[in-house]
Chain A
Amino acid sequence: MDDRFLHEHRRDPSPGFARSLRARLRQVEDLDAEPKGRWNPTLVATFALAVVALSFALPSVRATAQNLLDLFRVRTFAPVAFDPARLDKLKALAPKEGDSAANMMFANVDVLEKPEAPQTFSSLASAASAAGIPGREITHLPRKLKVTGITVTGRGRTRFQVDTQKLGAMLEMLDIRDVQVPTELNGQSFTIAMPAAIRQHITGGGQQVEFVQATSPEMQLPPGTDMARLGEIGLRVLGMSSTEARRMARSIDWTNTLVVPVPLDATSFREVTIHGQKGLLVANRGESTGRNGRKRNGNLLLWSEDGRLYALAGDVRDMELIEMAESVR
């Protein structure tokens, strides 16, 4: 097929047009670089946690007479793929710029215990003492990797008061119209306590890994919470279909499972075994090159052991991360 006559009429952009458009796009990039209003990792994490929290916030249909609050502790993980575009959609729907997802769901978000600024320590022993947990050590570090820094992030505790009207409005904004938010939960509170955590920063040979260890976060819930039902709503918020969310919500043990939202455009995940315990390996297969032209991969490994949570995250190969995890003593 002779189609040269079609190719011949392409032309390059004029230099003036290309320059002026690039300058305008740089202004967009500069705006993004300002922290205010950015949908930053902390906000994403807050959102994810709020979704998890939401899973436990709605009313009970499970008959119970107990006055004590149910307690949630993480022992296992459930990866849930979600579309990051939904986060953008939520961001766009925020009443005020920079509003967190939590503010869109809850009547009040009270910080009962504000975490102290991260502290730096020169040894694992002193960090462990500050964090109040027995610090464990990675005994096998591949290649040139070395521990280059140890910090402890402080404990925090936050209370969320449910506003069913806000929650319903948010679901509607996300076009989730087949879920009813029970009104009897309105005004009920639950509390999430995030423990102090030790973070070891491991770098070398152009690679970096972070090793995090902490006791399980705890969540105090209104008595008799129907976790499967609430989990189903949380999964819908993450973008899961009605049928899939119901099926998964009913298969998860919500008393000890941490839902881990995994961006579906970025990653693959699989179950692994660390010290005989089930763990979750999330692999980000970076197929693009960075500014330096180097291919980028990233892996995240989560596991729970002896009532504590461990996370290893870094741009090393998945098998290396598993070997590091297995060497934790």
Chain B
Amino acid sequence: MAIGEAVLSRLWAWNPANEADWDALYAQQLPRVLNYFRYRVGDGAVAEDLTSLTFEKAWIARNRYRRDLASFATWLMTIARNVAVDHYRSRRVHAPLAVAEHVASSDSPERDAVLRSDLVRLSALLGALPEREREIIALKYGGERTNREIAKQMNLSESNVGTILHRTVQGLRAGFEEGGL
């Protein structure tokens, strides 16, 4: 098998997936995936569970990903989106960001209370969004994806994503202000 092995084993050996810095990838992507789920499905424990599931699926199949970091992020977010869909199929959850006790603590109890209050309001507003708008918000503000990346992942045009985002954020902001922003 000399030539055949030489050909393909060399190709395989240079697959940067084999030499990726998994610690760095993990550190970079974990906040994005976790926040995507926080904006998408809410509840701290559920978001953490779904984040774990996403990373475990990705790690098991990680040698499949395309070689540059950007595509790894896209691939990971695709897995996350599928995990979210499966989650919704099994159980309807409409309370993104709902768990106020998971708000990061600030310097003062007063500020914490404001943050919790804001979070509860934002959670309610996100929960009332249509599926597509909520997904775009989660990808943008949780997953830190660009409009172009979101467009590609959701089969929309970039300008369409921009328009939807603008409209949705305006609506959320209006709702937020009404509640005491």
B and A form one assembly: yes
A residues lining the B interface (CB < 8 Å): 1-3, 5-13, 17-18, 21-22, 24-25, 28-29, 32, 39-42, 44-46, 48-49, 52, 74, 84-85, 88, 115, 153, 156, 194-197, 199, 210, 212, 214, 217, 260-263, 265-267, 282, 284, 286-291, 296-298, 300, 302, 309, 311, 313, 315
Given contacts A5-B118, A11-B35, A46-B1, contact A296 B11 (CB under 8 A): no
What's the nearest-Cβ distance from chain A to residue B114, in Å? 11
Interface of chain B: mostly helix, strand, loop or mixed: helix
Q: Which A residues are CB-close (under 8 A) to B14?
A: 284, 286, 296-298, 315
Q: Given A265-B66, A265-B67, A282-B11, A5 and B181 touching (CB < 8 A)?
A: yes
Indicate if the CB atoms of B2 and A24 lie closer than 8 Å.
Answer: no
Q: Are B30 and A13 in contact (CB under 8 A)?
A: yes
The residues of B that contact A1 with a CB separation of less than 8 Å are 165-166, 169-170
Q: In this complex, what residue of B is CB-closest to A10?
A: B35
Taking A5-B181, A265-B67, A290-B21 as contacts, is the C-beta distance between A41 and B9 under 8 angstroms? yes
Across-interface contacts of B26 in A (CB, < 8 A):
22, 25
Residues in B neighbouring A266, C-beta threshold 8 A: 11, 15, 67
Inter-subunit contact A260/B64 (CB<8 Å):
no
Instruction: Judge if B150 is at the interface, Cβ distance under 8 Å.
Output: no
Q: Roughly how many angstroms separate A18 CA and B52 CA in the complex, as a whole number?
A: 9
Contact A212 B16 (CB under 8 A): no
In the A-B complex, the 7 residue pairs with the closest CB atoms:
A197-B2, A298-B14, A41-B9, A313-B10, A287-B68, A41-B12, A45-B8
The total of chain B residues at the interface (CB under 8 A) is: 61
In the complex, what distance in Å separates the CA atom of A17 from the CA atom of B137? 24
Given A9-B119, A41-B5, are A291 and B11 also a contact pair (CB < 8 Å)? no
- B residues less than 8 Å from A282 (CB atoms): 11
The answer to whether B31 and A10 touch across the interface, beta carbons within 8 angstroms, is yes
Known: A12-B31, A286-B16. A311 touches B59 (CB 8 A): no
- Partner among A5, A25, A41, A302 whose Cβ is within 8 Å of the Cβ of B13: A41
Which B residues have a C-beta under 8 Å from some C-beta of A?
Answer: 1-16, 19-23, 26, 30-31, 34-35, 38-39, 48, 51-52, 55-56, 59-61, 63-64, 66-69, 97, 102-104, 118-119, 122, 137, 140-142, 165-166, 169-170, 172-173, 176, 181
- Given known pairs A6-B141, A25-B59, the reply for A17 and B8 (CB within 8 Å) is no
Inter-chain contacts of A21 with B (CB < 8 A): 30, 51-52, 55
- Contact B34 A13, beta carbon cutoff 8 Å: yes
Q: How far does the Cβ of A19 sit from chain B's closest Cβ, in whole Å?
A: 11
Q: How far is the CA of A267 from the CA of B165 in the complex (A)?
A: 36
Q: What residues of B have a CB within 8 angstroms of the CB of A212 in the complex?
A: 2-3, 6
Q: A45-B1, A296-B16 are in contact. Are A9 and B97 (CB under 8 A)?
A: yes
Out of A85, A88, A194, A287, name the residue touching B4 (CB < 8 Å). A194
Whose C-beta in chain B lies nearest to the C-beta of A288?
Answer: B16
Q: Are B169 and A313 in contact (CB under 8 A)?
A: no
